[in-house]
Amino acid sequence: MTLDSMMACCLSEEARESKRINAEIEKQLRRDKRDARRELKLLLLGTGESGKSTFIKQMRIIHGTGYTDEDKKGFTKLVYQNIFTSMQAMIRATETLKIPLKYEQSKNNSLLVREVDVEKVTTFEQPYISAIKQLWTDPGIQEAYDRRREYQLSDSTKYYLTDLDRIAESSYLPTQQDVLRVRIPTTGIIEYPFDLQSIIFRMVDDLLYFVYPHVCTIFPLTSVLPCIKHA
């Protein structure tokens, strides 16, 4: 009998259980350390609507699991909301930029669309379908779209508004491209891991705060606080 086996026999049940748990913990730590070597963590930084969330969606489609039909259904109301948001933005732009609407019915339709609370939109039905389709044909709205660099407008506006017939169908299911194009207001941290050539990429979007430590000894005391960058 070896010394180790003799000592094991002398250990109490509680001590043996403690030793077993400790061995499991050490095993898990070694496994985590090994996995960490093949994991890259990427923090996406950028201004609003710079494409951070879109980039994550692209990686999910190209290198991840993509989007199932059930996943796509969850984007349906967001597509509708994007359409209303874009049209409302262009209607406001015609007023701000002093662009007249050409057609008489455009005035009534613009009032109808402007009254919609976008956050409550879950469907896309008449009379809003016809109103938005008609407004999109008005030269005044087209000019507002052409001058979109003078105000904030989603870059997916034309994509959705030129395909309203498909989107307005009762059986509408967003395509992968629809999902990629949709603008989603980011209200928290989005994290999406995916494998690429045996390397795990863990992407994080939209942190509330970003702290950048910096050596402050070279600055006067009154300059210490600005050393912490608030993003």
SS3 string, 116-143, reads CCHHHCCCCCCCHHHHHHHHHHCHHHHH
Residue 182, marked binder: yes
Confidence band of 209 (pLDDT split at 50, 70, 90): very low
The closest of 124, 149, 145 to 136, measured between CA atoms, is 145
Q: What is the pTM of this model?
A: 0.64
Residue 186, marked binder: yes
What was the pLDDT predicted at 210?
47
If you search the block for the tokens 């969606």, which residue do you land on?
A: 57
Domain 76-173: which CATH number of 1.10.400.10, 1.10.357.10, 3.20.20.190, 3.30.230.70: 1.10.400.10
Residue 224, marked binder: no
pLDDT in tens, 82-132: 999 999 999 999 999 999 999 999 999 999 999 999 999 999 999 999 999
Distance (Å, rounded) from C-alpha 187 to C-alpha 225? 27
Q: Considering only residues 29 and 177, tell me which one the structure prediction assigns the higher pLDDT.
A: 177
Please report, for the chain, the start and end positions of each structural domain, with discontinuous segments joined by +: 39-65+190-231, 76-173
Helix (H, G, I), strand (E, B) or coil at 198: coil
Residue 196, marked binder: no
Residue 49, marked binder: yes
